[in-house]
Structure 1
Amino acid sequence: MSKKNKPGNASNTIALNKKAKHEYHIEERFEAGVALLGWEVKSLRAGKGQLTDAYVLLKDGEAWLLGAHITPLNTASTHVIADPTRTRKLLLHAKEIARILGQVNQAGHTCIPLALYWKNNRVKCEIALVKGKKLFDKRATEKERDWNRQKQRIMRDATTS
């Protein structure tokens, strides 16, 4: 993947699920296409998407994105009734779906969306197989993040003096 097409690139990113890294251990990532309607693409171009409480449901050999919120731009200009939280189909290969389904059936694993981003004029969703963090894991992660921040501050101050 080239630098300009990476999901973390700010210019291509539509929405991030920032809570996911705090709540879960990310085990494996997948890239999925998203089946969208015209008004949804238009709204996403304006940056009106959210993945805060979204999750992935695997049913009948298909993957579905539930709980993703895409705010309609202008309801008067569209000829369809805009449902911001409708269930959207994720486009994955059958082998990827089977792999995810096998992991989800194991205890403790779940599948969540991490990011929505543009890739060659198409909307892609980065989904991940995750395992829930315990409270002490969350505290340890936060402590490590604070220490790294403080370490950077010390290094920066040491080089400037």
Structure 2
Amino acid sequence: MKKNKSNNNTIALNKKARHEYHLLDKFEAGLQLQGWEVKSIRAGKCNITDAYVFIKDGEAYVTNINIQPLNQASSHVVCDPTRTRKLLLHQREIDHLIGGLERQGLTMVATAMYWKASWVKVELWLAKGKQAHDKRDAIKDRDWQRQKERVMKHG
């Protein structure tokens, strides 16, 4: 019997990121997880809205990814749902991140978490924070695009 394979590999999205930041440069990183975390992620108990990335001793780490433990899977292990997890990146990617974070004053934002084969991956962006007027401009542009599409559709 074949398993139904869904095309949707997305685990969690950070929709707030596009509103809060100008997204500049995209990276894909693996995540160092424990067994109970993988089981919880498969069950959909994951949230990345407050996640942010920092560099320490030449290694990239992500914190505030909230993975809620399952009752049956984590009875014998001490579970910390928001522990700091190591990101698996190539050294040149880490060097690029350090350049953006330290020299240009940018920040790293996690926008998505998804499955790639049997691995959990995180989509990261080097980003620059938006000012309040930038957010208003983006909302105006979006509304204008919607109005144009309506006029073209019914025109």
In 1, Cα distance between equivalents of 2:26 and 2:140: 25
Which residue in the other structure is 2:88 paired with? 91
The one-character-per-residue Cα deviations of 1:56-101 (angstroms, maximum 9, x if unpaired) are 0100010111011011121675320111101111000011001100
Matched residues, number: 150
What SS class does the counterpart of residue 86 from structure 2 fall into? Answer: strand
Instruction: Give the one of 130, 134, 138 matched to 2:131.
Output: 134
Question: Within 5 A, what are the aligned runs for 1:73-112?
Answer: 73-74=70-71, 77-112=74-109
TM-score relative to the length of structure 2: 0.91
- Preserved contact between residue 109 and residue 124 of structure 2 (Cα < 8 Å): yes
In 1, Cα distance between equivalents of 2:26 and 2:74: 37
Q: CA deviation at 1:10?
A: 7.1
- Preserved contact between residue 31 and residue 126 of structure 1 (Cα < 8 Å): yes
Note closer, same or farther for the CA distance 1:10–1:101 as it changes in structure 2 (3 Å cut): farther
In 2, Cα distance between equivalents of 1:107 and 1:53: 22
Question: Within 5 A, what are the aligned runs for 1:146-161?
Answer: 146-158=143-155
Q: CA deviation at 1:46?
A: 1.4
Instruction: Give the one of 42, 49, 54 matched to 2:51.
Output: 54
Which residue in the other structure is 2:20 paired with? 23
| Structure 2: segments with no counterpart, 5+ residues | 1-5
* Aligned amino acid, residue 14 of structure 1: I
The one-character-per-residue Cα deviations of 1:91-149 (angstroms, maximum 9, x if unpaired) are 00011001100110124311111110000111000111001111111001011111112
Which residue in the other structure is 1:42 paired with? 39
| Structure 1: segments with no counterpart, 5+ residues | 1-8
Note closer, same or farther for the CA distance 1:76–1:129 as it changes in structure 2 (3 Å cut): closer
Which residue in the other structure is 1:6 paired with? none
| Identical-residue share of aligned pairs (%) | 57
TM-score relative to the length of structure 1: 0.87
What SS class does the counterpart of residue 40 from structure 2 fall into? Answer: helix
- Preserved contact between residue 63 and residue 85 of structure 2 (Cα < 8 Å): yes
Q: CA deviation at 1:157?
A: 2.2
Note closer, same or farther for the CA distance 1:146–1:61 as it changes in structure 2 (3 Å cut): same
